[in-house]
Amino acid sequence: MTFEGNRVFPSSQLEALVTQRKGKAVSLQKVQDDFQRVVDLYTENGYIFNQIQRREVRDEPAKTVAYVVAITEYDKAHIERIVFKGNEKTSEEVLRRELSIVEGDVFNRAKIIDGYRALYNLQYFSSVTLDTPAGSAPGLIDLVFTVEESSTADINFGVMFSGGDFPISGTIKWNERNFRGNGQTLGVNVELSPVKQLASLNFYEPWLMGIRWSAGATLSVEHSTETDVLQDILAPVFSAGDEEIAAPDPYATREEYLAALAAGETIPDQYLMSYESFEVSLALNTGYRMKTEAGMLGVRGSISSRLRYIDYDPMLYRPFEASVRDNLNAFRLIDRIAPAIYLDGRDYYLNPSSGWYLSQGIGFTGGVLGGSRHYIRTDTVAEGFLTLFKVPVFEAWDWSIILAAHTGLSMILPQFYYDPQKKIWGPGTVTDSTDLLYIDGMTVGRGWREMYGEALWDNKIELRTPLAKDILTGVLFFDAAALWNETADMASIAIDDFRFSFGAGLRFTIPQFPIRLYLGKAFQVIDGNVVWKDGDLTLGDNLSLSFIISLGGDVF
C-alpha cells in the first residue's frame, strides 16, 4: 500500500499503520483494516473533510495486486456549535460539563466518543444519538446530541408476610439520581421489619463549584435486633484481654472453636443470644476525579460517626464479644475515616463491555479517632471486561459474549489504640460481628450459607450475553471465595479454604430493578476430593441446586 497527496503525515507514518506485507497472500480484511486506520488517523486529528480514496492496481502477468491511497487534504474542522435536544428536564449545563470538547475546538473523534459515553453513563437517558451536520461556513461542523430522557427516580419497595407479633415487613427506597435536573442525588430509605427499622436521608453533589469535586452526606436512624450472637456464659468464662485464647460457648478452648469452624460446624441455637441495638449515624464524603488516557482517575474519602446503644438482659445473657458487653445500656461512639483511590476505564458503568476498574481503599476505625471500636480494614479490587465477539443478528440487536472477571481482597488489621483495661497504647483489634467480612451467598460465594471472618478473597468470572439491550443479560458464572477467621491464617492458604460455586442466571440491568436470579451448585475440595453442597431445590435423587436471589448492591 502506497500513498500520494499526503503532506500532513509523512508516508513513513502512514506505512507504519499497514499490516498487509509485500509478497504475502492478499487478505481483503487486512487491506480494509489498514485503510481504515489511515482514515482514522486523519479524522482523530480533525481532518474530517479530507477525501481519501483507495484504488486497486493489478499486474496480471506478475499475479500481484497493489493498492494506492490518494489523499486530498483540507484544513482541520472546528466545532462551531454544540447542541442538545430532548433534555426537557436535565439542565444543559449538566450535559456540557461531561464533554471533553467545547465550541471552537478542533474536531477530535476520540474526545467526542468519550463525551458520548459520559452522557450515556449519567444513566439519565434511554438513548443518546449524535449527528454532525455542517456548520455555517466551510471547515465548521456542529455536534448535535439528541437524548431521550428516562426515569431517574429509583423506587424500590417490598412487602413480606410472616408469622410472629409483627407479621408484615417492608422496605421503601426512593432515590432521585437527577434531582431537579441538576445532576444531584437525593435519596430516602425506610425499612420496617421484625428485626430492623431504618430511616435514612442522603444527598450527593458530583460537581461541587463546577469542577469534578464531589461531596455528599448521609444521616440515618436505625433500630435492629441482632440475632445469632455468640455467647460466653458457660465455664470457662473469658474476660477482656483474653482475645487470643477466648472461645464462645459451648467450646472450652480457642483451638477447639477454630477446628469446629474449619469443619463447617454451626453453633446450636441454645448457645446463641440476641440483643437490641439503637443507632444514629452521620457520614460525610468527598472526592475528586480527572480524566486520563487510562480512564477516570479519582480519589475519595469519607468520615463517619455512629452513636450506638445496646440493650439485653445481663442476668440471662453474656455476649462473647467484649465490645458488645461494654456497650450494654451505654452510648458508644464508632468513628471512622476511609480514603481510597481508583482508576475506572470501563466503557459503560452499569453494563460494561470492555475496560477495567481498579481500586484501593483503607478504613481507619477508632485509634486516634477514639470511640469503642478499633481496627483497620483494607479493600483491594480489580475488575476486567472484554467482548469476546459481537455478531449482528437483527437490525437492532447484536449477539455478543462478554468476559467479566473480578477479584477482591479485604482484610481486617490491628489498629494502634488506647486500651482502657491495660491503660496503655498498643496494636490490637476491637470489633463485633457487624464489623467482620462475610460470604453472604448472594453476591459473594453464591450458593453458600452466611459466614464471617477477618480476611476475604472473593473471585468471580462470568460470561455474559445481552438478551435485551440495557434490560436483561444472561450469565454463566464461576465463584471462588475464601474466608479466614483471622487475617494471620492467610499465610497457610490452601485450596481447602475456598468455597466454589458455578451456575447460570439472569441479570436485570435496569437501575430501578437491579435484581439477579441464579441457579447454582456449590462445592469444596477437601483433601483432594470434591465435596458437593446440597442445594435447596431437589431435582432428582442425586441432584440439587441452590436458587439465588441478589437484590442490587453489586455493580460488578
pLDDT exceeding 70 applies to what percent of the chain? 96
Give the pairing of strands 498-508 and 515-526: antiparallel
Q: For residue 446, which phi and psi values (nearest 5 degrees)?
A: -55, 130
Give residue-wise pLDDT tens across range 269-284. 999 999 999 999 999 9
Q: CATH 3.10.20.310 occupies which residues in the chain?
A: 2-72, 78-149
Q: Is the pLDDT of residue 237 over 50?
A: yes
d(CA 214, CA 288): 6
CA atoms within 13 A on the CB side of 169: 15
For 9-23, write each residue's pLDDT tens digit.
898 898 888 888 887
- CATH number for the segment(s) 78-149: 3.10.20.310
| Total-model pTM | 0.84
**Exposed/middle/buried for 269, CB within 10 Å: 0-12, 13-18, 19+?**
exposed
| 408 or 110, greater pLDDT | 408
**8 Å CB contact between 547 and 507:** no
Residue 163 pLDDT: 46
Q: How far apart are CA 113 and CA 36, in angstroms?
A: 17
Fold of 2-72: Ubiquitin-like (UB roll) (3.10.20)
pLDDT given for residue 554 in this prediction: 60
**Per-residue pLDDT reduced to its tens digit, 1-52:** 888 888 988 988 988 888 888 878 888 888 898 889 989 888 888 888 889 9
Burial zone of 454 (CB within 10 Å; 0-12 exposed, 13-18 middle, 19+ buried) = buried
Other CB atoms within 10 A of residue 193 CB: 17
Using omega within 30 degrees of 0 as the cis cutoff, is the peptide bond preceding 250 cis?
Answer: yes
